[in-house]
């Protein structure tokens, strides 16, 4: 019989929401521990921003990327705690999630990955500040509406 293996897929920026991880930290010591480690490593209260917002603060790249990284690895730690050791076929991620996938796969430890994510976010903030422009996403809608919003 072939062994069943699990593929891990980690989210990128945009999956954040105020309150993310609070319930996990309240019910799972490993979650509270990882959020606490993140606060200590970063030298700021990231967990408070993730758990209480406001959304305008959480959506800043310098906050949402580390928060998503931590939340994803918290979720994996809880899964491992509940399900035990399970075979992993591979790990992948979308953008920021690629770094999370490396941490999950053991390329580097939690703290090293968190520092990398924080530097990445700082570089992205600097690049955005130095460049005029913007980005938007539209879910659904008609082609004409999209063209009008984009200015043809």
pLDDT on residue 95: 94
**Residues 110-142: pLDDT tens digits?**
999 999 999 999 999 899 889 887 766 777 778
Domain contains 23: yes
Q: Give the three-class secondary structure for 92.
A: strand
**Residues 51-90: pLDDT tens digits?**
999 999 999 999 999 999 999 999 999 999 999 989 999 9
Domain contains 1: no
The answer to whether the CB of 121 falls within 8 A of the CB of 69 is no
pLDDT on residue 152: 56
How would residue 36 be classed by pLDDT, with cut points 50, 70 and 90? very high
Domain contains 29: yes
Q: Give the three-class secondary structure for 140.
A: coil
Beta bridge partners of 93: 10
How would residue 23 be classed by pLDDT, with cut points 50, 70 and 90? very high
- Based on its alpha-carbon atoms, the radius of gyration of the chain, rounded to whole angstroms, reads 18
Q: What is the mean pLDDT of residues 137-152?
A: 76
Average pLDDT over the chain, rounded to whole? 92
- Specify the CATH number for the domain of residue 116: 3.40.366.10
pTM strictly above 0.85: yes
The answer to whether the CB of 38 falls within 8 A of the CB of 123 is no
Buried b (16+ CB within 10 A) or exposed e, 48-87: ebbbebeeeebbebbbbbbbbbbbbbbbbbbeeeeeeeee
Domain contains 133: yes
- The DSSP result for 6-57, as a single string, is EEEEE--TT---TTTTHHHHHH-HHHHHHHHHHHHHHTS-HHHHHHH--HHH
- In the chain, the number of structural domains is 1
Domain contains 97: yes
Range(s) of the domain holding residue 53: 6-150
């Amino acid at each position: 019989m072939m062994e069943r293996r699990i593929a891990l897929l980690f989210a990128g920026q945009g999956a954040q929401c105020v309150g993310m991880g609070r319930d996990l930290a309240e019910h799972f010591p490993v979650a509270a521990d990882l959020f606490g480690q993140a606060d200590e490593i970063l030298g700021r209260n990231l967990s408070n921003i993730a758990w209480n917002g406001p959304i305008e603060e959480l959506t800043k790249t310098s906050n949402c990327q580390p928060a998503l990284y931590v939340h994803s690895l918290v979720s994996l730690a809880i899964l491992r705690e509940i399900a035990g050791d399970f075979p992993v076929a591979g790990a992948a991620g979308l953008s920021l999630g690629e770094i999370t996938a490396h941490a999950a796969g053991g390329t580097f430890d939690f703290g090293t990955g968190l520092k990398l994510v924080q530097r990445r976010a700082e570089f992205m903030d600097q690049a955005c500040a130095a460049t005029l422009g913007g980005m938007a996403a539209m879910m659904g809608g008609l082609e004409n509406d999209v063209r009008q919003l984009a200015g043809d």
